[in-house]
Amino acid sequence: MWLKISDRAVSRIVAAAAASVPGTVELGRSLDRPAGRSYPRYDVLVDNAARTCSIEAFIAVVWPSPVTAVAEAVRATVAAWVADCTGLTVTRVNVVVGPVVRGRPVTAELLDAHPRHPVLRPVTVRPGPVSRPRTRAPVPLRPITVRGHHVR
């Protein structure tokens, strides 16, 4: 069975995975940064034929925190979540750290304790009744006339 997974669906998984990592922060446009870009942002490319995807994540990080450890945790978490949730092979995850903003401190111990894989719940579906589609009685065809010709 072949299933098509959209870039947008994978982007939402990426967003949830990155947000779950301690030390990442959402940063939007504000009065302080009217022309600034918002973070996080994600570029996702899914190749459904090859069952692969590649991801670029642009994140903002809280300071003080081990910035490279946060970026590595985001990379590992995003790759695991996408693979676990979609079955796609993740060929690459590039993480680009943008702004570093003052916030609640994050320690390496907190990052190490963070689970890399999502907690997935099984989906159960109850079989429903199968019925024939409702159809209307066919409408009889009427002859039409085009430029003096009779067509059936």
pLDDT at 130: 85
How do residues 43-100 score in pLDDT, each as one tens digit?
999 999 999 999 999 999 999 999 999 999 999 999 999 999 999 999 999 999 999 9
pLDDT at 148: 64
Domain that holds residue 105: 7-117
Query: Domain for residue 129, yes or no?
Result: no
Query: Are 59 and 96 contacting, i.e. CB atoms less than 8 angstroms apart?
Result: yes
Query: Domain for residue 11, yes or no?
Result: yes
Query: Domain for residue 133, yes or no?
Result: no
Residue type, 3: L
**Interior/surface letters 112-142, b for 16+ CB within 10 angstroms, e for the rest:** eebeeebeeeeeeeeeeeeeeeeeeeeeeee
How do residues 11-43 score in pLDDT, each as one tens digit?
999 999 999 999 999 988 655 555 567 899 999
Q: Per the structure, how many domains does the chain have?
A: 1
pLDDT at 147: 74
Query: Domain for residue 146, yes or no?
Result: no
pLDDT at 149: 59
Is the whole model's pTM more than 0.85, yes or no?
Answer: no
pLDDT at 132: 82
| Residue 112 φ/ψ, nearest 5 degrees | -65, -30
What's the rounded Cα separation, in Å, for the pair 107 and 119? 23
Query: Domain for residue 131, yes or no?
Result: no
The domain that holds 87 is classified in CATH as 3.30.70.1350
pLDDT at 123: 85
Within 13 A of 142's CA, how many CA atoms are on the CB side? 3
3-class secondary structure, 128: coil
Query: Are 57 and 40 contacting, i.e. CB atoms less than 8 angstroms apart?
Result: yes
Query: Domain for residue 52, yes or no?
Result: yes
